[in-house]
Amino acid sequence: MTIVVLVVFMAGAKDAKIKKMMADVKALKIQGAKNVAIAGARMLKISAEQSKAKDARAFIVELEAVSKKIVVLRPTEPALRNGQDIILSEIGAMKNLSLQDLKIKTAKICDDYVLEVQSVLGKIALLGSRIIVDGDVVMTHCHSNNVVEILKAAKKQGKKFKVIVTETRPLYQGKITAKELADEKIDVVYCIDAASASLMNRATKVLVGADAIASDGSVVNKIGTYQIAIEAKEHSVPFYVACGTHKYDPMTAMGYPEPIEERGKKEVVGKGELKVRGINVVNPAFDVTPKEYVREIITEIGAYSPEALVSILESENRSRPKRG
Amino acid sequence: MTIVVLVVFMAGAKDAKIKKMMADVKALKIQGAKNVAIAGARMLKISAEQSKAKDARAFIVELEAVSKKIVVLRPTEPALRNGQDIILSEIGAMKNLSLQDLKIKTAKICDDYVLEVQSVLGKIALLGSRIIVDGDVVMTHCHSNNVVEILKAAKKQGKKFKVIVTETRPLYQGKITAKELADEKIDVVYCIDAASASLMNRATKVLVGADAIASDGSVVNKIGTYQIAIEAKEHSVPFYVACGTHKYDPMTAMGYPEPIEERGKKEVVGKGELKVRGINVVNPAFDVTPKEYVREIITEIGAYSPEALVSILESENRSRPKRG
Amino acid sequence: MTIVVLVVFMAGAKDAKIKKMMADVKALKIQGAKNVAIAGARMLKISAEQSKAKDARAFIVELEAVSKKIVVLRPTEPALRNGQDIILSEIGAMKNLSLQDLKIKTAKICDDYVLEVQSVLGKIALLGSRIIVDGDVVMTHCHSNNVVEILKAAKKQGKKFKVIVTETRPLYQGKITAKELADEKIDVVYCIDAASASLMNRATKVLVGADAIASDGSVVNKIGTYQIAIEAKEHSVPFYVACGTHKYDPMTAMGYPEPIEERGKKEVVGKGELKVRGINVVNPAFDVTPKEYVREIITEIGAYSPEALVSILESENRSRPKRG
Amino acid sequence: MTIVVLVVFMAGAKDAKIKKMMADVKALKIQGAKNVAIAGARMLKISAEQSKAKDARAFIVELEAVSKKIVVLRPTEPALRNGQDIILSEIGAMKNLSLQDLKIKTAKICDDYVLEVQSVLGKIALLGSRIIVDGDVVMTHCHSNNVVEILKAAKKQGKKFKVIVTETRPLYQGKITAKELADEKIDVVYCIDAASASLMNRATKVLVGADAIASDGSVVNKIGTYQIAIEAKEHSVPFYVACGTHKYDPMTAMGYPEPIEERGKKEVVGKGELKVRGINVVNPAFDVTPKEYVREIITEIGAYSPEALVSILESENRSRPKRG
Amino acid sequence: MTIVVLVVFMAGAKDAKIKKMMADVKALKIQGAKNVAIAGARMLKISAEQSKAKDARAFIVELEAVSKKIVVLRPTEPALRNGQDIILSEIGAMKNLSLQDLKIKTAKICDDYVLEVQSVLGKIALLGSRIIVDGDVVMTHCHSNNVVEILKAAKKQGKKFKVIVTETRPLYQGKITAKELADEKIDVVYCIDAASASLMNRATKVLVGADAIASDGSVVNKIGTYQIAIEAKEHSVPFYVACGTHKYDPMTAMGYPEPIEERGKKEVVGKGELKVRGINVVNPAFDVTPKEYVREIITEIGAYSPEALVSILESENRSRPKRG
Amino acid sequence: MTIVVLVVFMAGAKDAKIKKMMADVKALKIQGAKNVAIAGARMLKISAEQSKAKDARAFIVELEAVSKKIVVLRPTEPALRNGQDIILSEIGAMKNLSLQDLKIKTAKICDDYVLEVQSVLGKIALLGSRIIVDGDVVMTHCHSNNVVEILKAAKKQGKKFKVIVTETRPLYQGKITAKELADEKIDVVYCIDAASASLMNRATKVLVGADAIASDGSVVNKIGTYQIAIEAKEHSVPFYVACGTHKYDPMTAMGYPEPIEERGKKEVVGKGELKVRGINVVNPAFDVTPKEYVREIITEIGAYSPEALVSILESENRSRPKRG
């Protein structure tokens, strides 16, 4: 059904650039919560520029419709939803401007949002880099800009450490991580996911990104993260998460479970391969790591235990208007 | 160095069939402790048939030399070593026979050994099948004949259960397991290795094979087994191992660590891929699961805790002559 | 001594209805924090209606005296104490009204409080129901309206799940739970308390109510809850608590231990039975489950880890006047 | 089906005394592995005395038939099965005697068996009593003669300790334990099963009996034992089991799971009570405590870890003839 | 290098009294965060009194310089840093006063700070004493005024309990604790640090002080605390920390690791002793106990889980001006 | 009382050399199970040489009396008891020899026993050294010849590793260990006992000696061992024990607890220091580490899990005559 919605929408998209971005977001070519949120803001900006609305009211209605289509591209991505919420509520507050002024403001709002999101990365990199010490062996999983930037910052500070990178089946995002780190002359040990338990006794820290933080302090991240968290606990290796606070999903406080995307079987097995009666190939994209496995979450506002982070964010969320 | 030895030896092999078998054993085309042990016995038999030795003494010396070359093909395989030990000590006990009689006897000893090893599988299948009950969801990893035969036997007994099969990177032996089970109309859930932690809360049992049992009750098996064992313990899911007693490696009681084969990088990454300065691709073929993770080991002589099994086997080993 | 106070008070109660309610509260006929808090509000309302005080000041003094007697009926029930605090502080704020107006307002304050408490249940039911998913097997203990309403709401949403209900010795409140769930056509497995460990491997979630939440995130609930929490942790089954925020006891932040009521031996053994010299029958009504066993607490303001919930509530409590 | 067998058999029983014993065994009036095994031996003796067989061969055939009926009374009791095996194999070894001599010998074999079983208790009491030290607080569950005798012996040695006794729903065997201990002037704390977790922090040892020991070192005992074992592990309180070696069930080494008797619902709920559509009352009589929870098993041949005990017993079992 | 700074500073100190205090702080003669913070305030006060500055501005500059030297005496002591921050920011807010007024105010600010810090102890003693109950066996480590005052307060309330005191190598601060408690007629068991694991099964609570609280809820305290925390967790003995909220170090939220002072080898081994090539004597003064080991932290504002405490303090910290 | 016995005995000792040895054994100057057992054998030999018995029978009676006095010097040392048992039973078997022959034989029996015990060390060193691998960081506690010899052997094999040595209060045997290892050019990190938890994340193995092995697989060793075992388990660092099989104490299988020597307070506190009313200085010399913390025990007959080792030794013990 999601796909149907997408097709309908993409047929209605007037602009090749947006079409391309949407397809890239949908196909996971644009990856990582930050990049997806930024792409969402940029798509809104392009839509605003191309809008043929006759007045401010129609303009806002149009943008809201576009935004709904954008959100549906990655229904499990709270950062995308949060970003669209923030931008639309700022636009909505200017509904009394003239259409022309509104268009100019909208472009600025989108640009500012992108800048702010981009600055998050720098803050996290700085904070997180302080946690790395000489001699560390940091295990990471999948690809996270926050993790890579932390490690790069630590390297620039002259710290000496190694990184164990797991390949992260089925899409091998570990390769991206390994290359980006090696480009910075960071020593990398690269292995299959199933080797993480054996290598855990060499690790001094685990550091991963997150796709979402839930109200009970759980961390939703790429499939395989929970496995590494269990291994880290079994070896008393501290488990760090690095992500912007936009990853916190306040809907989880209302009881909504964080949806776990089930992706296509073809990512796991070749076309037709194992298409045997009785074999059910499952491919969950994420898993959930409960609070007791997580030492702290490194965000742009500080590094806290997941429990403390949630209560700090909740008190702030309460003052922000919610989308309908 | 091992490779050098192999090359030297293979140059010296007079027979295409043995050469082929040796290459297959070396290249992991012949897989599984049982198959390798049987191949070892068959290679001895062929060597005996082709022997040009002039007398019984020379015949035995020749066979011992061949056996050393066979053992070196898979230096980390205790079943192969154990099998060669047993056969050679039986041949050695007949050194007073005429050369002709000795050749006949040797063929028979090799055949008997193969039959005995082959019967182990049936006994394990029967014992192990009793452990499966209606409603079970059994997680397994890699490919083990013992595991497959247990599950097939349980299915034939009319038991209703599912099996979760992990793909087992880098060589995907999980595919073989999935197909063999599906052929018997057993329901299979197939997933990447890193999904095992998320699926563990659905599993009622874990059942894997073993490459070696150490004297401290540790189980050496395909890389990824230890990871699943940790997850199983964290969820109080009992962890069963199925293997013949020939997997017990008495050398570990003498302090020798069970060697963990480090295999080629190409199994993990494509040719040239990630051949970046600073990236060290590691590919250990096995890992070690300590006794406290293992509920019991199902063997042809009974199902016991690893600790009890080792002491039962040790008392038997003490009465058998050891190879020099 | 508590009993003496009660007797004295009940002798002084002028009204049969209040007497009856007080006896019921004392005898646990009125059960559950919510029902007790509501009964407390209603008793205050009746007292206000029957008051023969000559002026507003005397009226308030009288109500405060009554309230003290009400609180002492269940000295270990924070919800009762919290409710009385809230009502009395609102009445106190109106001390300048005429006696007649004050009486009318008092009735309204009591009614409003009851309505608010009653709405809590609906909110918790909605939030909590979102956590239940198809295929769940939910273990519960004792009887909690919050738990029952969550499960009923989930059932109405068409979700398919089972519930394991423990009988909850010595008073068998599990029977009430089992019947209420079965009336809604929810599948129930009913068992003795001591069978919970054996059945835990079938459970996917534990969901219980709470009598009090302490400042360290501990949950005080019916005896047997801690046992189930330990079993759940041992099997990595997430442990949920459902209760209104009025269960939070801010006195615990001041170091006061949550009192654990020791109830009569006759609940455990028949009259005279085991009245043997040397046998000490103990009957604690509640036990304490520390934070590390609790995944999240589902309240009317959201579902949070116990640690986050306490800090959210503490910041709110700080702005409310405290009773002397 | 078991019941049908029983009815048929009891119809065929010629003797009121045996009928009574059989009914008592079946109805759990004769309880405890030892008592059941002794009753089995006595029933065989009475049958032998009343036999109208014409010759030794017919006599043995008759006894074997009786024995099969005895075993089926309690199909989950390895001690009964073991005892019948031992007696019948000794009788079988005398098949060449005259009928009259055989009858005399049979009576003696049965008597000797009873004496030997009875002496086990004394040996276990002596060994086990040495483990109790001044200041101990020993938690026990259900009723076990071995446990009671150990504690009585320790008391007689002048040791000062307390015992926490759980009531053991549904049949309250804890009452028997509490009374027997109090009769010996041992201090007893008596509580419901669900209070064991709360009281565990006062316990210094747990000591329970066993219905069966499995080949993986698991202990099968009254439902609720596993719960206490988990609690004991969580508090690092050592968990001791006291039982005769006849409780070891060698069939488990052949993969046979120890059967867990599911008993009638009426033991749990009153007649008709909770007979509501959708409520499934379950009443497993036993549960299984895996090896890692058990510090040691105290038997008449010594106190060992479960793993060591199994391997010691297995080496002895191998030399005893097995029943067909 | 720290030593060099100290030497330089001490050379510049004009006053013997300050010199003495500084030497005492440096040499750990003045111990405990509270005492060090108070000494810091007093040194500032003396410096202010002796100041020869010509105007308010120069006075403030001078005090800031002195303060920097004070902080560097114990760079790992957040309470000292926090205290200096608070005093200096209050002085800074009065920069428009005349020099004479400013001097008077400064003395008062320093005195008030000392009074406030001193009152913290009383509040913690009161709160914490409520947690102690009759029959408790409290294990403590090192010397903490908060712990001693809690136990003294509980004793004065007539509670009956014992305290296990570990000697706390290398400086044996446990002796001070033992004596102070014995002076109050509290029963003390005194032992070497390495005996704590063996004695843990007798303890009902662990209660220690803290040198710093980190933003992830970790507790930094005297070396050996983490060891006792692990043992307490292994035995399910609740682990309490008592300290003022000034121990919270907000710099840790910015990713700064709490520095662990490495102290001189002579504290561990006699002069010259073990000065053998290849032997590296290490002497970390503190260790880090992560949140999951800590039941609650008892502070002057309440007793909370570490996670809740951090978020409560963070919301308050955000409104206080930070030092540059 | 033990002291009284000693005084009486020493008064009766006829020989200065024995007196000296006895005093040294008693005063822990002769340390380590092996050295004590050897000293015991040598004292028997000297006694035999000095014997003035008139015939073989009196000679044996005399030696038995001496042996009893020797055993009582270190009542908690099973190796001493085992050694005396073995020597006396061999002497007893020769009671028909002439007195002169018996004296000669006795000397030889004692010498042979010493040689055998001494060879144990070499075997353990060889076996254990195989377990050390390049890059290892081995934590050890107290002083054990077995541990030192293993590490020296591994060093001689060219392996590169570090050793963390804890000082081992109260008697600082860690200093001996540190010096002996440094003499062999092994890198040593030396720290107080309480630092072991903090350093555990750097350790790859723990290796300690043992004073006794109990029948449940527990290891009795110097106080502080259990603490390190808990820390090792918490960090999944494998815990190895190295000791001769003469450390197995078969009395524990009979329920006898391994006695834990309580040593004088002066070892812990200076003379008179802390001699305050209400302070009870305790000084247990040993603690008990249960089986689940121990990966394997390295002995002269092989390296096994504690459970397997006990059952192997028990089967051997059964064939040896026991002392009365």
Residues of chain D with Cβ-Cβ distance to B122 below 8 Å are: none
pLDDT one-digit tens code per residue, F258-283: 889 999 999 999 888 888 888 999 99
Q: Judge whether residue D304 has pLDDT over 90.
A: yes
Q: Judge whether residue C9 has pLDDT over 70.
A: no
Least confident of A111-115, A159-163, B317-321, D125-129: B317-321
- What does the pLDDT read at residue A316? 66
Q: Which of B38-52, B249-263, D290-304 has the highest mean pLDDT?
A: D290-304
Nearest Cα residue in chain B from D315: B312
Residues of chain F with Cβ-Cβ distance to A204 below 8 Å are: 201
Which residues touch E41 (CB under 8 Å, ≥6 apart)? E83, E87, E110, E113, E114, E117
- What does the pLDDT read at residue D285? 96
What type of residue is E23?
Answer: A
How far apart, in whole angstroms, are the C-alpha atoms of residue A200 and residue E237? 29
Mean pLDDT score, F21-50: 88
How far apart, in whole angstroms, are the C-alpha atoms of residue B306 and residue B289? 11
Least confident of C10-24, E12-26, F32-46: C10-24
How far apart, in whole angstroms, are the C-alpha atoms of residue A157 and residue E154? 51
Q: Judge whether residue F1 has pLDDT over 50.
A: no
pLDDT one-digit tens code per residue, C268-296: 998 888 888 889 999 999 999 999 999 99
How far apart, in whole angstroms, are the C-alpha atoms of residue E253 and residue E256? 7
- What does the pLDDT read at residue D8? 34
CB E167 within 8 A of CB E191: yes
Q: How far is CA E80 from CA B127, C180, E9, E73, in A?
A: 69, 60, 17, 9
Count of beta carbons in the 10 Å neighbourhood of residue E3: 8
Chain B contacts to F (CB-CB under 8 A): 215-217, 252-257, 290-292, 305-308, 310-311, 314-315
Please name the chains neighbouring D, where neighbouring means 3+ C-beta pairs under 8 angstroms: B, C, E, F
Phi–psi pair at E82, nearest 5 degrees: -60, -45
How far apart, in whole angstroms, are the C-alpha atoms of residue B42 and residue F188? 52
Active-site positions of C read 142, 211
pLDDT one-digit tens code per residue, D124-152: 999 999 999 999 999 999 999 999 999 99
Chain C contacts to A (CB-CB under 8 A): 126-131, 133, 238, 292, 295-296, 298, 302-305, 307-309, 311-312, 315
Check B130 against D254: CB less than 8 A apart.
Answer: yes
pLDDT one-digit tens code per residue, D92-126: 888 889 999 999 999 999 998 998 888 999 999 99
Residues of chain C with Cβ-Cβ distance to E128 below 8 Å are: 255
Q: Which of B45-54, B178-187, D93-102 has the highest mean pLDDT?
A: B178-187
Select from B303, B308, B311 the Cβ nearest to the Cβ of D255: B303
Count of beta carbons in the 10 Å neighbourhood of residue C260: 15
**How close is the nearest chain B Cα to the Cα of C202, in Å?**
8
Q: Judge whether residue D318 has pLDDT over 70.
A: no
Q: Judge whether residue B14 has pLDDT over 60.
A: no
Split at pLDDT 50, 70, 90, the class of F3 is: very low
Select from F255, F290, F314 the Cβ nearest to the Cβ of D131: F255
Mean pLDDT score, F150-161: 98
Q: Judge whether residue C323 has pLDDT over 50.
A: no
Chain F contacts to A (CB-CB under 8 A): 200-201, 204, 234-237
Split at pLDDT 50, 70, 90, the class of D317 is: low
pLDDT one-digit tens code per residue, B112-162: 899 888 899 999 999 999 999 999 999 999 999 999 999 999 999 999 999
Check C197 against D281: CB less than 8 A apart.
Answer: no
Average pLDDT, chain A: 89
How far apart, in whole angstroms, are the C-alpha atoms of residue F298 and residue E252? 45
Select from F215, F308, F315 the Cβ nearest to the Cβ of D315: F315
Higher confidence at residue E173 or residue C14? E173
Mean pLDDT score, D60-77: 90
Mean pLDDT score, B270-288: 90
Q: Which of A92-101, E69-78, E136-145 has the highest mean pLDDT?
A: E136-145
- What does the pLDDT read at residue F273? 85
Secondary structure of chain E in the HEC alphabet?
CHHHHHHHHHHHCCCHHHHHHHHHHHCCCCCCHHHHHHHHHHHHHHHHHHCCCCCHHHHHHHHHHHHHHHHHHCCCCHHHHHHHHHHHHHHHCCCCCCHHHHHHHHHHHHHHHHHHHHHHHHHHHHHHHCCCCCCEEEEEECCCHHHHHHHHHHHHCCCCEEEEEECCCCCCHHHHHHHHHHHCCCEEEEECHHHHHHHHHHCCEEEECCCEECCCCCEEEECCHHHHHHHHHHCCCCEEEECCHHHECHHHHHCCCCCCCECCHHHCCCCCCCCCCCEEECCECEEEECHHHCCEEEECCEEECHHHHHHHHHHHHCCCCCCC
pLDDT one-digit tens code per residue, D162-189: 999 999 999 999 999 999 999 999 999 9
Q: Judge whether residue A277 has pLDDT over 60.
A: yes
Q: How far is CA B53 from CA B9, B44, B62, B96, C246, in A?
A: 19, 14, 8, 15, 93
Residue of A201, A202, A205, A231 for testing the chain F interface, max F β-carbons within 10 Å: A201
Q: Judge whether residue E324 has pLDDT over 60.
A: no
Q: How many CB pairs under 8 A join A and B?
A: 156
Check F201 against A234: CB less than 8 A apart.
Answer: no
**How close is the nearest chain A Cα to the Cα of E287, in Å?**
15
**How close is the nearest chain D Cα to the Cα of C109, in Å?**
40
Please name the chains neighbouring C, where neighbouring means 3+ C-beta pairs under 8 angstroms: A, B, D, E
How far apart, in whole angstroms, are the C-alpha atoms of residue A66 and residue A70? 6
Q: Retrieve residue E72's tokens.
A: 């560097």
Q: Judge whether residue A166 has pLDDT over 80.
A: yes
Q: Judge whether residue A6 has pLDDT over 60.
A: no
Q: Any contact of D with A, at least 3 CB pairs below 8 A?
A: no
Select from A200, A201, A236 the Cβ nearest to the Cβ of F234: A236
Higher confidence at residue A152 or residue A13? A152
Check B273 against A175: CB less than 8 A apart.
Answer: yes
Q: Judge whether residue E320 has pLDDT over 80.
A: no
Q: Judge whether residue F10 has pLDDT over 60.
A: no
Secondary structure of chain B in the HEC alphabet?
CHHHHHHHHHHHCCCHHHHHHHHHHHCCCCCCHHHHHHHHHHHHHHHHHHCCCCCHHHHHHHHHHHHHHHHHHCCCCHHHHHHHHHHHHHHHCCCCCCHHHHHHHHHHHHHHHHHHHHHHHHHHHHHHHCCCCCCCEEEEECCCHHHHHHHHHHHHCCCCCEEEEECCCCCCHHHHHHHHHHHCCCEEEEECHHHHHHHHHHCCEEEECCCEECCCCCEEEECCHHHHHHHHHHCCCCEEEECCHHHECHHHHHCCCCCCCECCHHHCCCCCCCCCCCEEECCECEEEECHHHCCEEEECCEEECHHHHHHHHHHHHCCCCCCC
Q: Judge whether residue D324 has pLDDT over 80.
A: no
Residue of A304, A309, A310, A315 for testing the chain E interface, max E β-carbons within 10 Å: A304
- What does the pLDDT read at residue C30? 87
**How close is the nearest chain C Cα to the Cα of D264, in Å?**
12
Least confident of B163-172, B228-237, C107-116, D224-233: C107-116
- What does the pLDDT read at residue C198? 96
- What does the pLDDT read at residue A11? 39
- What does the pLDDT read at residue C316? 66
Which residues touch E197 (CB under 8 Å, ≥6 apart)? E231, F224, F226, F227, F230, F287
Nearest Cα residue in chain A from C236: A290
Split at pLDDT 50, 70, 90, the class of F18 is: confident
- What does the pLDDT read at residue D9? 39
DSSP-H helix ranges across chain F: 2-12, 16-26, 33-50, 56-73, 78-92, 99-129, 145-156, 173-183, 196-199, 225-234, 306-317
Largest CA distance in chain C: 65
Cross-sheet strand order for the sheet of C239-242 = C302-304, C296-299, C239-242, C205-208, C136-141, C161-166, C187-191, D279-281
pLDDT one-digit tens code per residue, E167-226: 999 999 999 999 999 999 999 999 999 999 999 999 999 999 999 999 999 999 999 999
How large is the ipTM?
A: 0.80
Average pLDDT, chain F: 89
Nearest Cα residue in chain C from E298: C255
Nearest Cα residue in chain F from B255: F127
Q: Which of A275-279, B222-226, C310-314 has the highest mean pLDDT?
A: B222-226
Split at pLDDT 50, 70, 90, the class of D276 is: confident
Select from B128, B133, B305 the Cβ nearest to the Cβ of D291: B305
Check F234 against A237: CB less than 8 A apart.
Answer: no
**How close is the nearest chain D Cα to the Cα of C2, in Å?**
23
Q: How many CB pairs under 8 A join A and E?
A: 63
Active-site positions of B read 142, 211
Select from C194, C269, C287 the Cβ nearest to the Cβ of D224: C194
Least confident of B276-290, C100-114, E74-88: E74-88
Nearest 5°: the CA angle B262, B264, B268 is 105
Q: Could you tell me what percent of chain F has a pLDDT over 90?
A: 72
Nearest alpha-carbon partner for F175 in E276, A103, B72: E276
Active-site positions of E read 142, 211
Residue C255 is given by DSSP the state T
**How close is the nearest chain D Cα to the Cα of E260, in Å?**
31
Check A201 against F200: CB less than 8 A apart.
Answer: no
Q: Judge whether residue A8 has pLDDT over 90.
A: no
- What does the pLDDT read at residue B323? 37
Mean pLDDT score, C196-205: 97
- What does the pLDDT read at residue A15? 67
Q: Active site includes F211?
A: yes
Select from F256, F290, F310 the Cβ nearest to the Cβ of D295: F290
Split at pLDDT 50, 70, 90, the class of B316 is: low
Active-site positions of D read 142, 211
pTM for the full predicted model? 0.85
Q: How far is CA B294 from CA A21, A181, B24, F294, in A?
A: 50, 38, 32, 15
CB B190 within 8 A of CB B111: no
Higher confidence at residue F17 or residue E174? E174
Mean pLDDT score, E97-116: 91
Please name the chains neighbouring E, where neighbouring means 3+ C-beta pairs under 8 angstroms: A, C, D, F
Please name the chains neighbouring A, where neighbouring means 3+ C-beta pairs under 8 angstroms: B, C, E, F
Q: Which of A74-78, A188-192, C253-257, E60-64 has the highest mean pLDDT?
A: A188-192
Residues of chain E with Cβ-Cβ distance to A305 below 8 Å are: 215-217, 291, 306-307, 310
**How close is the nearest chain A Cα to the Cα of F189, in Å?**
17
Check F215 against D304: CB less than 8 A apart.
Answer: yes
Higher confidence at residue C119 or residue E231? E231
**How close is the nearest chain A Cα to the Cα of F231, in Å?**
10
Higher confidence at residue F72 or residue F155? F155
- What does the pLDDT read at residue A189? 98
Q: How many CB pairs under 8 A join C and D?
A: 158
Q: Any contact of B with F, at least 3 CB pairs below 8 A?
A: yes
Check C215 against E130: CB less than 8 A apart.
Answer: no
Nearest Cα residue in chain D from B309: D311
Q: Which domains does chain D have, with CATH numbers?
A: 2-123 (1.20.120.420), 131-319 (3.40.50.10470)
Residue A284 is given by DSSP the state B
pLDDT one-digit tens code per residue, A17-53: 888 888 888 888 888 788 899 999 999 999 999 999 9
**How close is the nearest chain A Cα to the Cα of E98, in Å?**
40
Least confident of A2-11, A74-83, D208-217: A2-11
Q: Judge whether residue F310 has pLDDT over 90.
A: yes
How far apart, in whole angstroms, are the C-alpha atoms of residue E31 and residue E286? 14
CB E299 within 8 A of CB C314: no
Average pLDDT, chain C: 89
How far apart, in whole angstroms, are the C-alpha atoms of residue C265 and residue D157? 32
